[in-house]
Amino acid sequence: MAQNHLIDLNDCSVEEWNELIRLAEDIRLNPADYLSRCRGRIMATLFYEPSTRTQMSFQAAMLRLGGQIIGFDNPVNSSVSKGESLKDTIRIVSGYSDIIVMRHPSEGAAKAATLSSLCPIINAGDGGHLHPTQTLTDLVTLANEKGSLSGHTIGLCGDLRYGRTVHSLIKAMCKIGGSKFVLISTPELTVPQYIKDIMDKSGCEYCECNTLEGCIGDLDVLYMTRIQRERFSSPEQYEKQKGIFVLDRQKMKKARRDLIVMHPLPRVDEIAVDIDDDPRAAYFRQAANGMYGRMALILKILDGNITITQPASFERPELSCHNPRCITQQERYLPHCFKEDANGRLACAYCDEALEK
């Protein structure tokens, strides 16, 4: 079905991102002009996974545009608990609403939802895969705080393996070009290979570092992340990874005066609370930017005023994705769809996992 779904921010052009950033700023400065722009429209928020910021900022965004909201924030309270498939839930809810915002624990779930939806789907996080509207929030923040989206040395610290915000942000910055990345993590929690391939292909330089102290002085932006406990296969594995990277005052002394510290939040213990008053701590400002970015996105999608082009994919019924966290492992009726990845290899069209390593 031809709809403007937002599954991956990289399915829009950089010009579209700049438009969204401009619109978000206009909404922030002139909220009264937008109060009834979505009157009579309904947004469904389907959250199969916990959320505070993403869900509430989407809901607040729609309410501030004069629209209304329906949805669930816990699948236990919906027919999902009776065994309803994603396909059926989406088919039904998309008949009640004009736009669906969904978060799901399986990688590729939002893409899968597009196959049965009658209205646009916005991916609000699909497992450890992508989180395009957090990246939109991050781009608005970079534009506001740094005045530019390129030319930065960006340190990404913590859970780079399962942190979907990291994957979406690196992809976006590679599309813009002109930035360098410092990947700060344990070897177990470095970024997936497909993200390294994207960096290689883009020509953006990157290096890996195993301490914050070792590189903080070189950074323009430090993007801290939570260790994603819910994505580990055992509690022991999580225990081994937690508490390794903590940003505190001591480390901030080594940082540049114009560094900004970002974090998608929620934080656990990776940023000491006494950093919050440091003017370089941008994470609360970043969270506030999210609502305006989402207002801009909802408006543009509902007005049909944005071009989003999903990558071409094709069915190969004889092949299967081997990623255990992929939506195709749970929803068995899904067609086996593939696309070409950055290196021209076959990759799952839902979760991006390459077929052959």
131 touches ligand NCD (CB under 6 A):
yes
Q: What is the CA radius of gyration of the chain?
A: 20
Distance in angstroms (rounded) separating the CA atoms of residues 134 and 260 = 17
| Closest to ligand NCD by CB, 104 or 180 | 104
For residue 256 the two structure tokens come to 């540049």
Distance in angstroms (rounded) separating the CA atoms of residues 228 and 161 = 9
Distance in angstroms (rounded) separating the CA atoms of residues 59 and 43 = 8
Site mask for ligand NCD (CB under 6 A), range 215-244, x = bound: -----------x------------------
Closest of 192, 209, 205 to residue 245, by C-alpha: 209
Distance in angstroms (rounded) separating the CA atoms of residues 236 and 238 = 5
Residue in 54, 117, 168, 286 binding ligand NCD, rule: CB under 6 A: 54
Amino acid letter, 48: Y
53 touches ligand NCD (CB under 6 A):
yes
For residue 202 the two structure tokens come to 């883009």
Shortest distance, CB of residue 332 to ligand NCD, whole angstroms? 26
Residue in 45, 116, 134, 289 binding ligand NCD, rule: CB under 6 A: 134
| Closest to ligand NCD by CB, 116 or 141 | 141
Shortest distance, CB of residue 103 to ligand NCD, whole angstroms? 7
| Closest to ligand NCD by CB, 34 or 194 | 194
Residue in 206, 264, 281, 289 binding ligand NCD, rule: CB under 6 A: 264
Closest of 142, 106, 324 to residue 220, by C-alpha: 142
> Can you tell me whether residue 109 is helix, strand or coil?
helix
265 touches ligand NCD (CB under 6 A):
yes
Interacting residues toward ligand NCD by CB under 6 A: 53-54, 125, 131, 134, 164-165, 226, 264-265
